[in-house]
Structure 1
Amino acid sequence: MDNDIAERTKKEIDMMEIVFKVLTIKDKDKQLALDFFDMASNYFKDSKFFLDKQDYIRAFEAVVISWSYIDAGIKADFFEVPKNLKKYFTS
């Protein structure tokens, strides 16, 4: 089971690595958009920190929270991701 959690966590972190490389911040309510981005980015950094410590549960939690901020930001029209990545989000 631990191996499954580790693999899933790495997979999610790899996907979010791609998202952060291609995500664009729109001008709509720029400061709030930047706040959302900062929170997502900080949680993503935390996920990689926990992954390095082999704390897979906390790493997974942090990457999911990061994803949630990006997802909410897309829904609020703060962020844009390429069409091929939109299927990973609820917006």
Structure 2
Amino acid sequence: MIDSAKDGLADRGLLERRPKRVFRLQTGRIDYVLPDATAELAAEHSPEDVERLFSATETSRPELWELLRWEIDRAVSARRTTDPGPYYGGDHW
């Protein structure tokens, strides 16, 4: 779902697709880059705006909400298992 969401954002011009390269060779994978205009657009909205959007989605589209929640939980879990954290000299952010 995350890749399809990124593709949808790229189709609408909110993300840029860049072929991933290793040693100047294309890997067949795509990196998605946040353009400045999209970052500025996102900065215009508060966390409360996002919470309202999530709340509306939860009540009006429960099937989408469950899928979104599952993907978020999966991403957080993956981040926790691969991130050694600040105590091991890694950059937390």
Normalised TM-score (structure 1): 0.31
Q: Which has the larger radius of gyration?
A: 2
Q: Which has the higher helix share?
A: 1
Q: Which has the higher strand share?
A: 2
